[in-house]
Chains A and B, each alone.
Chain A
């Protein structure tokens, strides 16, 4: 897979200054993501995973450096980069069907086309029985299915996912991981997926980007070459898990030290 990278992150830094203190959330991040690649960003809490994802999404611009998507520099959020949030972010005043149709209505697709497309997505994600329900009536897993369907409706070539399965129980989580992989293979999306679960990253990713804690840098990029579906009980899987655990643990302990050194009252 060589050719023009789909997403190109070069020399990206992000500094937050709050209350006179500066936090270097990202420092000199360089990463090329190939079309159709599944990337996981892995690291302890506070290492800048969301900050990096939000910069790619266009919600906040880096302090320095550039991010380009298909050669175009990122300036604002757009439907070419579908975003799936940990908090689902479904519109509670819209039914499941309306939530999925929202992006298509914005695009001003004709009604019959919208209905057809939404129907297909409801089928694909097993949501037919819930089409007229409001998000408050759905379980977490169901909500995240709707959020995924909402992004798929737009045919965005890129999906950005910020700990999308973080709040789900392990069974639902595995289910959705499998479903996501199926979708990813079928539609050949480019995915950047944030997680702090080592196992999840090994199960899903082509490449795992391990990040350091403060400043947020790329510590190591690990390629996962195991064939899918991957078996979490296999030796290979567990060796990789050990390797990644060591990497993440180092950062985690720096995180913990930092937390204890920080003044608690501000």
Chain B
């Protein structure tokens, strides 16, 4: 490698090779009408649609709203916001319920035996199977969707918290006891931090599940959000919009995962094996 073409740049270009080839093939197939564009629109059409979906629908009118509000008034932004809002609320409620229960179940055998059978029965039911019941209970709109997301986030966080507390190395507990730690101190300053690697793994799985559930829930119980939008597009045979929507869902998923990863690295900077880059 010479200095005008360093290895790093080469690596990047290499990584782009397959996607670019695939895109070119796709573009060729659709533009030559080898594939019906209604089935598979050209990449350029998808990008155009995505851009349109992103931009505000109306022209800027200072009398009606501020510039920022206008800027974010595009359909995609509103959909993404609606989906993200459901994930956030559902994940938060699920976590708030799962964390204390998991800590208690992990630390106390009696509580564990009390709740474990019920959890073992409910856990294997995919949250999506709760859709009919949630609509029956909560009607349509945000409540059933959030209920499903709560379920999706709850179990991974719960199971991992229990495992985390159970795996706390006994030596930390002994050290803390000999330093005079009370029950509360032991719980908050020893068990909880010692269990964080597990808890964060649970949170990460929980967010992932919540994100799957929100898309499905929106397809069935709500009439906005990214999941709803791509299903709606199908009814009009707008395949370009479906793919544009999927692309947005993917980007959002990536953003959430990156965010969780950052949080993970920050909270676990003390942990062996994780280096701060």
B-contact bits for A39-51, CB 8 A (1 contact / 0 none): 0000000000000
Beta-carbon contact of A91 and B175 below 8 Å: yes
Q: A92-B272, A134-B270 are in contact. Are A79 and B171 (CB under 8 A)?
A: no
CB distance from B176 to the nearest CB of A (A): 8
Looking at A28-36, A81-89, A232-240, the stretch in contact with chain B turns out to be A81-89
For residue B14, CB closer than 8 A to chain A, the reply is no
For residue A102, CB closer than 8 A to chain B, the reply is yes
B-contact bits for A119-142, CB 8 A (1 contact / 0 none): 000000000000000111000000
Question: Which residues of chain A from 48 to 85 have a CB within 8 Å of any chain B CB?
Answer: 57-59, 76-79, 81-83, 85
Closest residue to B171 on the A side, CB-wise? A89
* Cα distance A79–B179 in the bound complex, in angstroms: 5
Beta-carbon contact of A78 and B272 below 8 Å: no
Partner of A85, one of B175, B177, B180, B190: B175
Closest residue to B180 on the A side, CB-wise? A79
For residue B194, CB closer than 8 A to chain A, the reply is yes
In the complex, what residues of A have CB within 8 A of residue B179's CB? Answer: 79, 102-103, 106, 150, 154
Question: Which residues of chain B from 166 to 212 have a CB within 8 Å of any chain A CB?
Answer: 171-172, 174-182, 185, 189-190, 193-194, 196
Beta-carbon contact of A106 and B178 below 8 Å: no
Beta-carbon contact of B171 and A85 below 8 Å: yes
In the complex, what residues of A have CB within 8 A of residue B269's CB? Answer: 134
In the complex, what residues of A have CB within 8 A of residue B171's CB? Answer: 85, 87, 89
- Is the interface on chain A under 10, 10 to 19, 20 to 34, or 35 or more residues? 20 to 34
For residue A107, CB closer than 8 A to chain B, the reply is yes
In the complex, what residues of B have CB within 8 A of residue A79's CB? Answer: 178-180
In the complex, what residues of B have CB within 8 A of residue A85's CB? Answer: 171, 174-175
For residue B110, CB closer than 8 A to chain A, the reply is no
Closest residue to B273 on the A side, CB-wise? A136
For residue B271, CB closer than 8 A to chain A, the reply is yes
Q: A89-B171, A92-B272 are in contact. Are A78 and B182 (CB under 8 A)?
A: no
* Cα distance A106–B177 in the bound complex, in angstroms: 11
Beta-carbon contact of B272 and A82 below 8 Å: no
Give the A-B contact count at a CB cut-off of 8 A.
Answer: 64
* Cα distance A82–B179 in the bound complex, in angstroms: 7
Partner of B270, one of A57, A93, A102: A93
Q: A89-B171, A91-B193 are in contact. Are A136 and B271 (CB under 8 A)?
A: yes
* Cα distance A150–B181 in the bound complex, in angstroms: 13
Of B174, B175, B177, B185, most buried by chain A (CB within 10 Å of CB) is: B175
Beta-carbon contact of A106 and B172 below 8 Å: no
* Cα distance A139–B95 in the bound complex, in angstroms: 37
Partner of A106, one of B174, B181, B194, B272: B181
In the complex, what residues of B have CB within 8 A of residue A93's CB? Answer: 193-194, 196, 270-271
In the complex, what residues of B have CB within 8 A of residue A107's CB? Answer: 180
Of B174, B179, B272, most buried by chain A (CB within 10 Å of CB) is: B179
Closest residue to A78 on the B side, CB-wise? B180
Q: A89-B172, A91-B193, A136-B272 are in contact. Are A57 and B178 (CB under 8 A)?
A: yes
Beta-carbon contact of A83 and B174 below 8 Å: yes
Beta-carbon contact of A92 and B175 below 8 Å: no
CB distance from B42 to the nearest CB of A (A): 52
CB distance from B214 to the nearest CB of A (A): 32
What 9 pairs across the A-B complex have the smallest Cβ distances? A79-B180, A89-B175, A103-B179, A93-B193, A77-B178, A134-B270, A83-B178, A89-B171, A77-B177
- Beyond contacts A59-B178, A79-B178, A79-B179: 20 other A-B pairs, Cβ-Cβ < 8 A, are A57-B178, A58-B178, A59-B177, A77-B174, A77-B177, A81-B178, A82-B178, A85-B174, A91-B172, A91-B193, A92-B270, A92-B271, A93-B193, A93-B194, A93-B196, A94-B270, A95-B270, A102-B179, A106-B181, A107-B180
Q: 28 pairs across A/B with beta carbons < 8 Å? A: A57-B178, A58-B178, A59-B174, A59-B178, A77-B174, A77-B177, A78-B178, A79-B179, A79-B180, A85-B174, A89-B174, A90-B175, A91-B172, A91-B176, A91-B194, A92-B270, A92-B272, A93-B193, A93-B194, A94-B270, A102-B176, A102-B189, A103-B179, A106-B181, A134-B270, A136-B271, A150-B179, A154-B180
